[in-house]
Chain A
Amino acid sequence: MQIYLPIADLPVNVFLILGMGLAVGFISGMFGIGGGFLMTPLLIFLGVSPAVAVATVSSHIAASSCSGAISYWRRRTIDLPLAGLLLTGGIGGTFTGVWLFTLLRSIGQLDITIGLSYVLLLGVVGGLMVTESVRAIIRGRQGKPVELRRPGSHTWIHGLPLKLRFKRSRIYVSAIPVLGIGYIIGFVGAVMGIGGGFLLVPMLIYILRVPTVTVIGTSMVLTLVTMASATVMHATTNHLVDAVLALFLMVGGVIGAQFGARAGHRISGERLRLLLGLLVLAVGIRFGLDLTLPPENLFMLRPLESSQ
């Protein structure tokens, strides 16, 4: 069954996009991430222009992180003050991101920037996750306890001023790195069309030493608000959010996420991180190949925006 997407201006198969929503939703539920880094490339592959893909995926991530955040809220594993402070930085980052997005689009360098950022970010994060989880698995095999939180190991980050106490996460940390992390996530999310969950979770764990109990719920609240505001900002500045496409992705996504979350409970944390790391790395490599292999066509067309 074909449906014509009004903003993307192309017909697509309804079941195909529902299926994509389901598949990405399953993965996002399993790993507790938004899944934007998978959905955006998939849409581009389908023929949706990168700009429309990035703008539309933000609303899809908002939906899946909303359903996630509600279930974490019920389990009382959300650190609201921490999420609030991250958000303050996040909104600023989103603003800068949407501004850069618009600028790059007008000079014709948006696609290459999206491609390059994917390679760099996914390559680095995926590589780190794989090595870290392999180490953890090896340690586990040797019978040593897996420690994520080493209370004694303070870095320069813990020496910064403006210290605040976050009760639910039981951390005492400066507001500056919290704002900074929020800013980076908001910025990256708006430019690349990703929620940044796969980036935020390790940052919270390794930099701020947030315990694993509260990390995913808190990250989901942040993703929810940054992505919902990115949707509004993209719609206001670039008019590129395709609500019809978004609706089908959302419906598939939230259903898939429920099943993914159940599957995720059956796998140990290290293995889950290893799988996610491999997935992230694979997408990064795919983008890297696209950038370095000679393109099928040396030329590319793009209608110039009518000045409104």
Chain B
Amino acid sequence: MIRSLAAISVIGCIAATTPAAAERLVTSLSEHRVMVTSSFNGSEVVLFGGIEREGGNLPGRGNYDIAVTVVGPRQDIVTFRRERVLGIWVNYESRIFENAPSYLAVLSNRPLEAITGDETLRRLQLGLDNIALPQRSDSDPANGTPSGVFRQAFLKLNDERGLYRQEPNGVTFLTPALFQASIALPANVPTGTYEIDVKLFADAAMIARTTSALEIYKAGFEQFVTSSAQNHGTLYGLATSLMALLTGWFASVVFRRD
């Protein structure tokens, strides 16, 4: 176990952009796979992490900061803007957010702006304000609504559905070198593979980084129904119709009065 964790942290070290740093990040999840079953009503996965310093003396520097970014499976998402046409609100203008994360959580131990400068946040695409969300428009975007408005609306709507969240106090330091973060997964969480990216900052600079993955999948009956509907549409439809006929027939037998 310790050996495998060490192996992960070595990879983390290689991935780090500032190899001069002597810190290493070691992380682990309370669950690597989350099952969505018929009783699924949201879940929570806890990320534990430790900061190791070469030589073993801690803390060597000033304060450490941690930022965790969880990105759900990417998909194209259309955003419609409604406009009143002849007194009726219609979907007037649309933008397609290409490869947008279906779930996005940014957790840190204090506000991102306090951890590092705007320039670094932008470069690392850290935080909801800095994540890249490329848009595509089928119509001429020049005389339409500015992209920024769509972006804000996109972030706001996802926030309302609990799918995008930024928690400036989502990471808790248990000791100066040990931290934990709880990743809240709402009931409407999309299934697929989630990337978890943990960044370690010290004195406003990123000194280590490590990534891991989390899988959310439908299991059992839910999985069976979903895959049948997708892969055997006609058969699934026939089965559902048959179920309807049987239910109707059954009711007429049970409630027969003559």
Contacts and interface: CB of A to CB of B under 8 A. Distances in A.
A6 B222 contact: yes
Contact of B248 (A70, A108, A240, A302): A70
Contacts of B154: 299, 301
Interface in A53-77: 59-60, 62-71, 74
Given A6-B218, A67-B249, A294-B89, A228 B36 contact: no
A46 interface: no
Contact of B77 (A2, A298, A302): A302
Interface string A223-241: 0100111011111110111
Contact of A292 (B81, B87, B249, B252): B87
Given A302-B78, A304-B78, A67 B252 contact: yes
A44 interface: no
> Interface range on chain B: under 10, 10 to 19, 20 to 34, or 35 or more?
35 or more
A300 interface: yes
Interface in A130-188: none
Interface stretch (B21-29, B50-58, B232-240): B232-240
Nearest to B37: A4
A77 B241 CA distance: 24
Interface of B: 36-41, 75-82, 84, 87-91, 94, 96, 102, 150, 153-154, 156-158, 161, 187-188, 190, 218, 221-223, 225-226, 229-230, 233-234, 236-241, 243-245, 247-252, 255-256, 258
Contacts of A60: 244
Contacts of B94: 108
Given A4-B187, A299-B153, A304-B96, A108 B78 contact: yes
A304 B77 contact: yes
Interface in A116-138: 116
24 contacts: A2-B39, A4-B40, A4-B187, A4-B222, A7-B225, A9-B190, A11-B187, A66-B252, A67-B249, A69-B248, A70-B249, A112-B90, A224-B245, A228-B245, A229-B241, A239-B236, A240-B229, A243-B225, A246-B243, A257-B251, A300-B82, A304-B75, A304-B76, A304-B78
B249 A66 contact: yes
Nearest to A308: B230
B82 A292 contact: no
A100 interface: no
Given A240-B229, A298-B81, A299-B157, 10 more contacts: A7-B226, A11-B40, A66-B244, A70-B248, A239-B233, A241-B237, A246-B243, A254-B247, A299-B154, A301-B78
A203 interface: no
B245 A66 contact: yes
Contacts of B90: 109, 112
Contacts of B239: 243
Nearest to B75: A303
Contacts of B102: 303
Contacts of B41: 2, 4, 11
B42 to A, nearest CB: 8
Q: Which of B39, B75, B240, B255 has the most CB of A within 10 A?
A: B240
Nearest to B88: A291
A300 B77 CA distance: 10
A235 B237 contact: yes
Given A4-B40, A66-B244, A231 B237 contact: yes
A251 interface: yes
A293 to B, nearest CB: 8
A10 interface: yes
Q: Which 5 residue pairs are nearest across A and B when measured between Cβ atoms?
A: A66-B248, A235-B237, A254-B251, A232-B237, A299-B153
Contact of B233 (A68, A228, A235, A298): A235
A232 to B, nearest CB: 4
A268 interface: no
B98 to A, nearest CB: 9
Contacts of B226: 6-7
B80 A6 contact: no
Given A6-B226, A62-B245, A301-B158, A241 B240 contact: yes
Contacts of A254: 247-248, 250-251
A259 to B, nearest CB: 9
A255 interface: yes
Contacts of A239: 229-230, 233, 236
